[in-house]
């Protein structure tokens, strides 16, 4: 948990609607060495109620991650009748839950191998960047399944625990937002997360890396728990461009990035925090086997992104 008193810590998982669970699991296991932590085939009564879906809406689901991580996990859900992908036909700067950043080792070699295997990248080569705060990294954007943008990210000055496929879990879920200041304040002052970094990126290298028009830039904040490089949220406000708001699409049974899931052992202190700050939430009783939960709180960010907080009341 964050050090910011009764607040949230890293997100435990991100729910992703997929059109074919078997293909998706083969991709994440084969390319990145992710493990299946748990799997459930067939309807899930609790999630159907939580998401206001018909009783047989969920066909199968699975939680996956790289070995040893209990947050920054991927929650894949295949729906019986999946909707369109959240980012289908989207432009780079449209407003939506957009990217998953996967930590990788030796990005140049991985990029060449995946390109040779037929994977599609948004640029001809990776970018190497030094942020204003001195962070050095390499990254490249991969066109993933269900219109997800997957970012391969190598941190040049940090050591992580890599899988046998040279990946080290999900560092960030990226939101593109119209008002970065408001979204950042919601996570920090409202939900009690830590500010990890705050940078402005601009110039030709950034335009190439992200796929932006000339002269555009990015105001980027990362929020999460300073004690963990996993399960963080990156907030991106594009400069000099205006995108379409796609957040209303990010609801089950759509495909793509849908919402974040947090986990607290005791929900009461966090509920008290929300009430003290006059923040709206919905509380439901729900049995969700994959989340070991009896209660869940639902919160919506200013941009329209959904957050579920699972747990019990002690």
Summarised one tens digit per residue, pLDDT across range 126-164 is 988 887 778 899 999 999 999 999 999 999 988 888 999
Residue 30 belongs to domain with CATH number? 3.10.180.10
The answer to whether position 76 is within a domain reads: yes
Whether pLDDT at 1 is above 50: no
Please work out, in degrees rounded to the nearest 5, the angle formed at the alpha carbon of residue 305 by the alpha carbons of 215 and 209: 30
pLDDT at 134 (0 to 100): 82
Whether pLDDT at 21 is above 80: yes
Residue 65's DSSP bridge partners are 35
Lowest mean pLDDT: which of 46-60, 162-176, 198-212, 225-239?
A: 198-212
Q: 260-269 burial, b if ≥16 CB within 10 A, otherwise e?
A: bbbbbeebee
Q: What is the mean pLDDT of residues 178-205?
A: 89
pLDDT in tens, 43-91: 899 999 999 999 999 999 999 998 888 889 999 999 999 999 999 999 8
Q: Which pLDDT band, with edges at 50, 70 and 90, does 209 fall under?
A: low
Percentage of the residues of the chain whose pLDDT score is greater than 70: 94
pTM for this prediction: 0.92
pLDDT in tens, 256-267: 999 999 999 899
The answer to whether position 66 is within a domain reads: yes
Whether pLDDT at 230 is above 70: yes
pLDDT in tens, 283-304: 998 887 777 777 899 999 999 9
Nearest Cα residue to 269 out of 223, 309, 237, 217: 309
The answer to whether position 266 is within a domain reads: yes
Q: Give me the chain's average pLDDT, please.
A: 90
Lowest mean pLDDT: which of 145-159, 198-212, 235-249?
A: 198-212
pLDDT at 172 (0 to 100): 92
pLDDT at 210 (0 to 100): 63
Whether pLDDT at 244 is above 80: yes
**Can you give the residue range of the structural domain that contains 301?**
13-85+249-312
Q: Which is more confident, 216 or 241?
A: 241
pLDDT at 3 (0 to 100): 41
Whether pLDDT at 5 is above 70: no
pLDDT at 212 (0 to 100): 67
Number of domains in the chain: 1
- For residue 253, whether the previous peptide bond is cis, meaning omega lies within 30 degrees of 0, is yes
Q: What is the mean pLDDT of residues 189-212?
A: 79
């Amino acid at each position: 948990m964050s050090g910011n008193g009764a607040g949230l810590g890293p997100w435990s998982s991100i729910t992703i609607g997929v059109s074919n669970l078997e293909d998706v699991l083969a991709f994440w296991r084969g390319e990145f060495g992710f493990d299946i932590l748990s799997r459930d085939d067939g309807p899930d009564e609790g999630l159907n109620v939580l998401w206001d879906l018909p009783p047989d809406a969920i066909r199968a689901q699975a939680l996956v991650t790289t070995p040893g991580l209990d947050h920054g996990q991927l929650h894949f859900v295949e729906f019986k009748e999946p909707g369109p992908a959240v980012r289908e036909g989207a432009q780079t700067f449209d407003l939506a839950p957009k990217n998953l950043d996967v930590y990788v080792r030796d990005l140049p070699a991985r990029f060449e191998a995946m390109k040779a295997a037929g994977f599609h990248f948004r640029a001809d080569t990776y970018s190497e960047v030094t942020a204003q705060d001195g962070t050095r990294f390499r990254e490249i954007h991969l066109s993933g399944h269900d219109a997800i943008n997957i970012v391969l990210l190598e941190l040049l000055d940090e050591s992580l625990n890599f899988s046998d496929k040279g990946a080290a879990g999900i560092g960030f879920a990226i939101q593109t937002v119209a008002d970065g200041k408001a979204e950042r304040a919601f996570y920090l002052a409202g939900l009690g997360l830590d500010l990890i970094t705050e940078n402005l990126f601009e110039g030709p290298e950034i335009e190439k890396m992200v796929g932006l028009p000339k002269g555009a830039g990015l105001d980027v904040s990362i929020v999460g728990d300073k004690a963990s490089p996993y399960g963080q949220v990156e907030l991106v406000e594009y400069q000099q461009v205006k995108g379409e708001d796609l957040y209303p699409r990010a609801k089950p049974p759509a495909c793509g990035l849908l919402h974040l899931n947090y986990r607290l052992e005791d929900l009461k202190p966090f509920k008290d925090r929300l009430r003290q700050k006059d923040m709206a939430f919905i509380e439901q009783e729900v049995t969700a086997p994959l989340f070991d939960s009896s209660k869940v709180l639902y919160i919506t960010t200013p941009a329209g992104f959904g957050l579920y907080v699972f747990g019990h009341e002690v």
